[in-house]
Structure 1
Amino acid sequence: MKRLLASIHDVSPRFEGEVDLLLDRLAPHVGQRLAMLVVPDHWGGAPITPAFGARLRGWASAGIEMFVHGWFHRDDSAHRGLAAVKARRMTAGEGEFLGLDHEEALARMRRGKALVEDATGRAAAGFIAPAWLYSDGARAALADAGFALAEDHAHVWAPGGATLAKGPVITWASRSTPRALSSLAAAAVLRHTLHPLPTVRIAVHPGDVTRPELLRSIDRTFAAFAARRRPAAYADLLAERRASISA
């Protein structure tokens, strides 16, 4: 049976209530078979507290995969050329790893990995950059940091290894009405066109709960895929790759 990968982004004490609402929203479709993308210190003002760390440990114990999702989730780099276009068009100052060199990217990845693993008592599932945006240095740092999995808008891959899944992530934008409308249109198209893919990825964000029309679209999108697919873990992709190599 084909796979459905679900994820909640921007998991942080800053958005604890929103994360709870999203968990409840996704539960009828995937239960707790999903991933959380944890931000260690969202915009430098929401560090992981002991109480929130305990919640992360509980969610991980229930089977939720924990990814490191940057460090600050805020982009403080000065960009030029194509990177400047991506920073302006694809996110609102949140592409933290788009402008980092290898050394700084690696340092933040290692710090984030240590924090998430200490909180959960388990190995981090992987790393996903904020806004799915990476510099070349950041991409190179993934393997050096010891991450088993990474993801961007179009792929899931094993750093230093193979591509494990292809196809666009279905996601929504909430920061302005034009972007929300555009994401609604994209979701409507993708929930009809992505069925041939072996793996479909759906990602939700805390801001989605602020717009009822986005929540309705999220419900419709999960319902469209959940009936035909099994909720899966990102780690399943890696396990299946290893099994195919050894067969």
Structure 2
Amino acid sequence: MPEPADCPSMLLVLHDVAPETWPDYQPFVEAIDALGKIPMTWLVVPDFHKRNALEQAPGFRLMLDRRLQRGDEMALHGYFHADDSPPPRSPRDYFMRRIYTWEGEFYSLDQAQARQRLEAGIDLFRRYDWPLAGFVAPAWLMSDGTRQALRQLPLRYTSDPQHIFQLPDFTPIAAPGLVWSARSRWRRGLSKVLCDVREARLRQAPVIRLGLHPVDMRHGFSRRYWLQTVQRLLCQGREPMTKSTWLASRHAR
């Protein structure tokens, strides 16, 4: 039998995890749990949109504690998950921060600002005795200052839509992903088509990342897609892992 490190892998990643979004995710998580032991990576926001402070949500923190006990992983996902920097001043910045997303919190921060928020998130994880290896910027957008700050902090990885980067030197590792834009009916339909095509192309890929968002869970069409995709990848023999476990398995080969 092949060792886990030699098996193709699947990384199930829940974005934007916060007290406000847990009701969206809960039925899906329960459906995944019913399939067996499938570890997940939870991208946790310390104070989602400045109205979901984890310090004020003991029941939610207890749920996360239990997920860690099941073998799941938590990663830091911004701090506020909201772009509160001064208004954009160039056409490119306007597009990235007002059309592409309003949530690119780390897109325009300088090194000191980025480090302050990263350290605040690290301190919060330490306070609750939550292991922390990774940081994922909201919308995967990082300024040069954010990258400089990450090189100086005790984190092991970050990522963009198609790579996981080992820190502190940002060594890229191909980790292609599937992700939806589910805000409208036409976006959901297009996402289904594009992801079906991409999954077929990735059939021989060593790893596939599934990047889920709360809005995906609010529509039966997209929610069923993700559950069926997990089931399909499991039937194809893919080993479900957290990001940290997958990275560790690469070094164990």
Q: Deviations over 1:219-240 (max 9, x none)?
A: 2322332222100121134324
d(CA) in 2 for partners of 1:62, 1:170: 25
Whether 1:134 aligns to 2:139 is: no
Partner of 2:105: 96
Partner of 1:14: 20
Contact conserved, 1:187 with 1:217, CA < 8 A, in 2?
no
Letter of the 1:3 counterpart: S
Letter of the 2:25 counterpart: V
d(CA) in 2 for partners of 1:162, 1:105: 17
Q: Which residues of 2 match residues 2-81 of structure 1 at below 5 A?
A: 2-28=8-34, 31-48=37-54, 49-77=57-85, 78-79=87-88, 80-81=90-91
Letter of the 2:115 counterpart: L
Q: Tell me: CA distance 1:26–1:88, structure 2 relative to 1, closer, same or farther (3 Å).
A: farther
Contact conserved, 2:161 with 2:177, CA < 8 A, in 1?
yes
Q: Which residues of 2 match residues 1-247 of structure 1 at below 5 A?
A: 1-28=7-34, 31-48=37-54, 49-77=57-85, 78-79=87-88, 80-91=90-101, 93-119=102-128, 121-161=129-169, 163=171, 165-227=173-235, 228-243=237-252
Cα deviation for residue 153 of structure 1 reads 0.7
Letter of the 2:126 counterpart: E
Cα deviation for residue 177 of structure 1 reads 2.6
d(CA) in 1 for partners of 2:203, 2:36: 17
Contact conserved, 1:37 with 1:67, CA < 8 A, in 2?
yes
TM-score where L is the length of structure 1? 0.89
3-state SS, counterpart of residue 53 of structure 1: helix
Cα deviation for residue 30 of structure 1 reads 6.4
Cα deviation for residue 148 of structure 1 reads 0.9
Partner of 2:3: none
3-state SS, counterpart of residue 208 of structure 1: helix
Deviates more, 1:195-204 or 1:233-242: 233-242
Cα deviation for residue 53 of structure 1 reads 1.7
Unaligned 5+ segments in structure 2 are: 1-6
Deviates more, 1:123-132 or 1:164-173: 164-173
Q: Tell me: CA distance 1:237–1:122, structure 2 relative to 1, closer, same or farther (3 Å).
A: same
Q: CA RMSD in A?
A: 2.0
Letter of the 2:124 counterpart: L
* Aligned residue-pair number: 242
TM-score where L is the length of structure 2? 0.87
Cα deviation for residue 168 of structure 1 reads 3.3
Contact conserved, 1:37 with 1:69, CA < 8 A, in 2?
yes
Letter of the 2:152 counterpart: D
d(CA) in 1 for partners of 2:250, 2:80: 32
Cα deviation for residue 81 of structure 1 reads 4.8
d(CA) in 2 for partners of 1:25, 1:73: 27
Contact conserved, 2:28 with 2:223, CA < 8 A, in 1?
no
Q: Tell me: CA distance 1:166–1:83, structure 2 relative to 1, closer, same or farther (3 Å).
A: farther
Deviates more, 1:168-177 or 1:62-71: 168-177
d(CA) in 2 for partners of 1:39, 1:107: 15
Cα deviation for residue 174 of structure 1 reads 2.2
